[in-house]
A and B are shown apart, each in its own frame.
Chain A
């Protein structure tokens, strides 16, 4: 390994695939397709999420997927599903339409908070894993549920940092830390709740392997610029995590020698 490669952050290996970027981004809420494309490019992301939706029957179907860089992996989601049965059906439809086994599993428990229904999520995960899906589940930041989802065969778990689209940042850093410490070999992708670059850096410093975000970029006044900020934040946060930060101290520790200073 060359010196410059040694100080790069490591790549992400997920379900047998290698990703150079640890940022996964969405395709919702952009003001225009051109802005979305520019943001996607600036983010450096190699995987994007898309939603499954009923086609309009008035012949106005637009090929949304044509606006995505074909080199990016498409990760369909089961957003809008409120029980395991609908999530499973949505995943099967997505697989048929796109020919991908990858699915972001999202089962929502409540319309106001969009908080996940962990019980239904686990139930759906078991069925979909058995059907050969690569299931990436969105769930509450709970260690025990993470363990259950991993035991069910999910190659990664995707705890929320805060409610979807809230931009509140990591609301419970202790939960993420505990998950990281207790699940050393598991892939943890923080999904939802990041609002700005420092939020992304904090999540990565806590040991997240990747971050999935949509609104923080799409709703920024300048989405492509925020996409670049997120790229840098995720890289910086990961590098900081891998480098092992200094311990926090209550008192000062001089950087310059006190001894030998002129009297």
Chain B
């Protein structure tokens, strides 16, 4: 298992997890969200190329009301 920090929450996932699989397992839509891994934005078409590593820090955003 590896340990990830996703939006500030620590989550353990099996080693070798692909970013695209994680998004699917979290039941997140694949449009109008964006993902940053360790401070860098991962383009949508690269989600299936990114294998997550232990201690990776992810930020996954969407949009809410604001001014």
Contacts and interface: CB of A to CB of B under 8 A. Distances in A.
Interface of A: 26-30, 36, 49-55, 57, 59, 61, 63-65, 74, 76-77, 79, 89-90, 92-94, 96-98, 164-165, 192, 212-215
A164 B67 contact: yes
Interface residues of B, number: 27
Contacts of A55: 7, 28, 33, 60-62
B58 to A, nearest CB: 10
Contact of A61 (B35, B39, B44, B62): B62
B8, B26, B27, B67: residue with the most chain A Cβ atoms closer than 10 Å? B67
Interface in B32-65: 32-36, 39, 41, 43-44, 59-65
A65 B41 contact: no
A212 B67 CA distance: 8
A213 B62 contact: no
A6 B35 CA distance: 48
A64 B33 CA distance: 11
B26 A30 contact: no
B32 A98 contact: yes
A96 B65 contact: no
A93 B34 contact: yes
Nearest to A214: B67
Interface string B1-26: 00000111101000000000000001
Contacts of A65: 32, 63
Given A77-B67, A79-B67, A96-B43, A53 B32 contact: no
A77 B63 CA distance: 10
Contacts of A63: 29, 32
A11 to B, nearest CB: 23
A77 B66 contact: yes
Pick the most buried of B6, B8, B60, B62: most chain A CB atoms within 10 A of its CB. B62
Given A53-B63, A89-B39, A97 B33 contact: yes
Contact of A53 (B6, B8, B41, B64): B64
